[in-house]
Structure 1
Amino acid sequence: MKQDRPEVKKEFIALMAILMSLVALTIDAMLPALSQIGTSLQVENSNDNQLIITSVFLGMAVGLIFYGPLSDAYGRKKIIYLGIAIFILGNLLSIFSSSFFVMLAGRVLQGFGVASCRVVSLAMIRDQFEGPQMGKVMSLIMMFFIMVPALAPSVGQGILLFSQWRAIFVLILVFGIISLFWLHFRQQETLALEKRIPLSLASFKSGASETLKHPVSRRYMLGSGIIFGAFVGYLSTAQQILQHQYQLGDLFSLYFGALALAIGLSSFANSKLVMRFNMAKLCRGALIVLTITALGFYFYIENLETQPPLMALMAYLAVTFFSIGLLFGNLNTLALHPLGHIAGIATSVISSVQTLVSVLIGAIIGQLYEGSVVPLVLGFFFCSLTTLVLIYRTKKAAAI
């Protein structure tokens, strides 16, 4: 029996990575098709095509707050079943949509459903592992996970060479169904009956209130939402900037994937750095780099008579995304650190607030796009500066 454990562990890691990657696949595989979808559904303003991306985040912001407490009460697998069922319904709605409103409704449902994979997968990992072993498992999962945003646009672009945009939704649908059957037949429930917490509105309200009122948690929660808002702004405008403004055409997915790998490299580096340096100081250092490089690149753009060269933009974004890779996991950890006694509810509340804040900011940055990278660069500047000011005086989490 002991000989089977490594194989079981590898399969568990692969399954968790697949479930978590549904989020990235749902977002990034659609990027090359935004213009085609807009044309097909008669969207007049090209900036409105960005709503195909931000609507997923909006659905996630709502869904994230429910799945943690539900999985604590009814078990992990049942809640993922529920979430993927909603996700599949949203995909079907988008596949057969004949209007932009129906498309967006389907995308909101996809986001609401796939939020279960993000929250409950983390809970399943926490059920199985702890301490350094959990850290190792999460590192292995992230190494796989980061390949999805790097490759998903290329997959979407490849599908468009042979079929229409609706086929991308079919692929995502099949991916979700495979994940559902894999979970059902190959993974046991990880939360024992005796460890389940009865669903109570009073306990949820109490936990949510404590999370929102805790000064350290609140600052890191809002800070991560603000800086992730700039990243959502990038996701919303990446196709317009790279594929149209810089006329990359089918090469868009390659450049997008290269920038995604910068985040992957940063995440790997962070796994080493957090063992040697203070986590809060790492975050402040990354935010200082983000702020200075954004301001410097803005002044560089202002002194040009044309748009910045593609390689200059790629270099700026690579530095930006490397810095962001140092922030995502660390800011979440710092936000959750004081709330270990209510980790399930706190994770749902923090994730939901982060996503809602990022959607609002990302949508504003996206709608300001007028054929220039200036709104995106200034978005990163103001978001990083605001986050830096917000968390700079937060000293209580300095020990981790």
Structure 2
Amino acid sequence: MHSPLTEPTAPAPDRGGVAIGFREFVCIVAMLMAINALGIDTMLPALPAIATALNLSSVNQAQWVVSAYMIGFGATQFIYGPLADRFGRRRLIILCLGLYATTSLLASFAASFEVMIAARMMQGVAAACTRVLAVAIVRDRYSGREMARVMSLSFLVFLAVPMLAPSIGQLILLVAPWHAIFLFLGGFAIFVLGWVSLRLPETLHPEYRRAIRLKQIGAAMRTVVTNRTSIGYTLALTLSFGAMVGFINSAQQVFGAFGEAEHFPILFAFIAGGMAFASILNSRIVMRVGSRRVSHTALILFISLCAIHLAATLIFGDNLVSFSLFQFAAMFCSGLLGSNFGAMAMEPMGEIAGTAASVQGTISTLGGAIIGIIVGQNFDGTVVPVVAGYFLCSLGILAMVLFAENGRLFRPHHEVRVPQ
């Protein structure tokens, strides 16, 4: 059996004369993904302090420090695909990493809630590029089960970030005010910028380079949203992400309601570990079992868990142990859903990978952020809004997967190529 980091096949030739190995490629993709996770999770322990410093009326209002970032992150992804398909991946990533570092500095010196929200939204705009182009450069080199495997390995490195990010934020708060968290984010962006500048070659196939023509972009976008596989799995990913964002927005308050605010980073790391474990498992079995069997089985388990937990919460109430165990299991299922859904949504989009990644990213991230805002703003001191949000989203995911698969789960996959 191959090691998880054994290169499955020879990838497409790199452009730019830089020889980059499989392991380093996975790590660069993971670091690009980590930019976003750090931007969200590192500051969760600091929300009460930010609320106090900026004279906010409630911690629910402080959730907008996270929500504004996600809105900027989700709403602008569609612009990066056409730009990347025209100018390539590498230069655009470098530019946006510089913007991320600049807006991190602006947020660190924000003296008002309005400036903070503006800086955070622009920080999300910059991070959107890393999300779109991380997926696009993977699709440039791999497809199908191999792409799902690379994404899982990237997720494995990347998912250490949400496990550690709240602890990083908490450690920073022990020695410095909350402003230092944003300085840390800017420093990390500069580190990744240097790595990309020195080591990442251009991965865009020359024959796939597209001029920026509105008619051509519109045609590519229509392909993305009218292909059943693409849009069905994109909407399924939207609902999965929305349930998770609802939890993230409310997490600090939920554990505070359980009287465990001081242990929030440890509990959050345990819960995020469910997704990391799923990514390890997925990277080892997806090539043999297939993306559909893995993700559809995980979906059935996810729906069952959500239904049981909601019923138990409404009848018996909830406690720290049962809630944490459920969230661990939910994150495990989400880990099996996310990378496979993303790979399957991208599979028919190889020749318009940049545009497809940006459109799919905009829909899934902005839609997920809106769902998460609704769940988070309904926090009432109990876990019911979070648990109910998971259950409703799980049913929606099933509906979208059935739509994508023409009403059949676990069906064999036949690759569909996008016409030139």
1:366 correspondence with 2:376: yes
Instruction: Find the counterpart in structure 1 of residue 30 from structure 2.
Output: 17
- Verify: 1:170 aligned to 2:180, yes or no: no
Aligned residue number for residue 276 of structure 2: 264
Give the C-alpha shift of residue 125 in structure 1: 3.6
Change (3 A) 1:15 1:271: closer
Contact 2:101 2:186 in 1 (8 A): yes
Offset, 1:135: 5.5
Farther-moved stretch of structure 1 (275-284 vs 73-82): 275-284
1:196 corresponds in structure 2 to 209
Counterpart among 279, 286, 289 of residue 274 in structure 1: 286
Which structure carries more helix by proportion? 1
Flag as ranges the 4+ runs of structure 1 deviating above 6 A.
Answer: none
What is residue 387 of structure 1 aligned with on the other side? 397
Question: 245, 265, 278: which is aligned to 1:253?
Answer: 265
Identity of aligned residues (%): 34
Structure 1 residue 315: Cα displacement = 1.3
Q: Structure 2 CA distance, aligned partners of 1:129 and 1:288?
A: 28
Which residue is 2:52 aligned to? 39
Distance 1:303 1:139 in 2: 37
TM-score, normalization by structure 1:
0.91
Task: Sort the Cα spacing of 1:194 and 1:380 in 2 relative to 1 into closer, same or farther, 3 A.
Answer: closer
Deviates most, 153-162 or 181-190: 181-190
1:88 to 101, 112, 129: 101
The one of 331, 349, 364 equivalent to 1:339 is 349
Q: Deviations over 1:176-233 (max 9, x none)?
A: 1121122223333334666532222111111111211223322221121122111110
Deviation at 1:122, TM superposition (A): 3.0
Amino acid at match of 1:18: M
Matches of 2:297 and 2:382 in 1, distance apart? 28
Q: What one-letter code is carried by the residue in structure 1 that aligns with 2:397? A: T
Matches within 5 A, 1:210-359: 210-242=223-255, 244-304=256-316, 307-359=317-369
Q: How many residues align?
A: 393
Counterpart secondary structure, 1:303 = helix
Q: CA deviation at 1:26?
A: 0.8
Of residues 175-184 and 7-16 in structure 1, the stretch that sits farther from structure 2 once superposed is 7-16
Change (3 A) 1:80 1:283: same
Distance 1:61 1:39 in 2: 28
Q: Could you tell me how far apart the structure 1 residues matched to 2:193 and 2:268 are?
A: 29
The one-letter code matched in structure 2 to 1:81 is: I
After TM superposition, give the deviation of residue 15 of structure 1 in Å: 2.8
Deviates more, 1:121-130 or 1:176-185: 121-130
From 70, 95, 98, the equivalent of 1:57 is 70
C-alpha distance in structure 2 between counterparts of 1:347 and 1:220, whole Å: 12
Greater mean deviation of Cα atoms: 374-383 or 200-209: 200-209
User: What's the TM-score, normalizing by structure 2?
Assistant: 0.87
Quote how far apart the aligned CAs of 1:387 are. Answer: 1.7
Unaligned runs of 5+ in 1: none
Q: Given residue 318 of structure 1, which amino acid in structure 2 is its aligned partner? A: F
Judge conservation of contact 1:157–1:250 (CA < 8 Å) in 2.
no
Matches of 2:405 and 2:136 in 1, distance apart?
Answer: 28
| 1:305-347: CA deviation from partner (whole Å, max 9, x where unpaired) | xx52211111111111111111111222222233333222112
Cα pair distance change 1:188/1:326, threshold 3 Å: closer
CA distance in 2 between counterparts of 1:278 and 1:38 reads: 46
1:30 aligns with 43
The Cα of 1:7 is off from its aligned counterpart by 7.6
CA distance in 2, matches of 1:292, 1:369: 24
Q: Give the whole-Å Cα distance in 2 for the aligned partners of 1:335 and 1:135.
A: 11
CA distance in 2 between partners of 1:395 and 1:7 (Å): 37
